[in-house]
A = this chain, B = another copy of it.
Amino acid sequence: MTDEVRVLPWQDLHDFTKRVFVSVGMPEEHATQEADTLMWANLRGVDSHGVVRIPWYVENIGKGIINPTPDIRVMVETPAVALIEADCAIGPVVTNLAADMAVEKAKGVGIGWILIRNHTHQGTMGQYVQRIANHDMAGMIFVCSRPNTAPFGARAAGVSNNPLGLSAPARRHPHLILDMATSLVAMGKVLVARDRGESLPVGWGLDEHGNPAVDPRDLATLLPVGGPKGSGMSLLFECMGSLMVANPLVLPVLSGELGEAKTTGHVGRMARHNQNSVVAAIDVSRFTDMEKYKAEIDSLIDHLKELPRADGFDEILMPGEREERCYAQRVKDGIPVPPATIAGLKKVADDTGIEFIRGVE
């Protein structure tokens, strides 16, 4: 096992990822989409959503939680909306489909609003709203998951920290790509604090007894951003997503229907992974002149970046800008992969009987 960070060309990681997913039964085209998704994240520095997740995906395909050969069906369709049954597909396969359907419907009637039920992990939200922005459209996605965040006023999980993506196309600048969650911080930041041996600030999360988690290893439940704001958005997303598609994710955990005792801790942790999403595209050109629109977005960005800066800021960054810079560098120089991640990937190669990336010990 290597004991240093290796910088690998994205093509090698992409190829390996594809071979892994084919080896566990996924059609090559689906495996390619999953590899694209993980590279999207790694190339943009969102390593928490990159190849580090491969062992978890493979494990969950083995358990039957992720279906490598899903029967994806459109259950409801009008010129403006659709409901897609994902049959536990891995997220990107069905979310790319939904984004493309949203774009097609938006071309027809100005908006496409696609609900996806019963899918699994999608990677970052940014990739899907960027895909929509690339069609000169504004994009939106929100995702519903098991409860992992305390609703405002509670000391136990009862909402999810729903990922939310929004986008608008620019011309000279990268598209505006917001990718956030309704918790104050993402779990990734908690893991970083853990690995650095740092304590958590109050407000990040609670331990299993519902008290503020100080040691990152004790964090059982996240806290919502802005108290009732993040909490309320999350609750409404569950209603506009999961309940709308008859696949509730929070209720069966809270009611104990999934067989867990109610605790003050991260009650969702043990529940079968499952998600629902809403993906929307709005056709800018239906409402205004596309060239003027993009020019105004560029100009708005220029003026925002010229505002006087807060203490401690060298620069005012737009949503997605840091990630686009990282992309420009990593697509050229490669993706740094820590030894623990390499070890995990090598084990996957051994377990699935495929060749690892050549030249990497």
Contacts and interface: CB of A to CB of B under 8 A. Distances in A.
Interface of A: 76, 78-81, 83, 108-111, 113, 115, 138, 140, 150-156, 158, 166-168, 176, 178, 180, 184, 210, 225-226, 228-230, 232-233, 235-236, 238-240, 243-246, 248, 250-251, 254-255, 264, 282, 284, 286-289, 292-293, 296-297, 299-300, 303-304, 306-311, 313, 315-319
Given A151-B304, A303-B254, A319-B228, A76 B240 contact: no
B264 A154 contact: no
Given A155-B308, A155-B310, A156-B308, A226 B225 contact: yes
29 contacts: A76-B287, A78-B108, A78-B109, A78-B110, A80-B109, A80-B110, A80-B111, A81-B282, A81-B286, A110-B113, A151-B304, A153-B309, A158-B303, A158-B307, A168-B236, A178-B232, A178-B233, A180-B233, A225-B226, A226-B226, A226-B230, A238-B300, A243-B296, A244-B282, A244-B293, A246-B289, A248-B300, A251-B299, A254-B307
Given A226-B184, A299-B251, A151 B232 contact: no
Given A78-B110, A239-B138, A240-B138, A228 B83 contact: no
Contacts of A80: 79-80, 109-111
A182 B316 CA distance: 18
B180 A304 contact: no
A108 B255 CA distance: 35
Contact of A111 (B113, B140, B168, B235): B113
B248 A316 contact: no
Contacts of A83: 287
A336 to B, nearest CB: 24
Contact of A246 (B138, B239, B292, B300): B292
Contacts of A230: 226
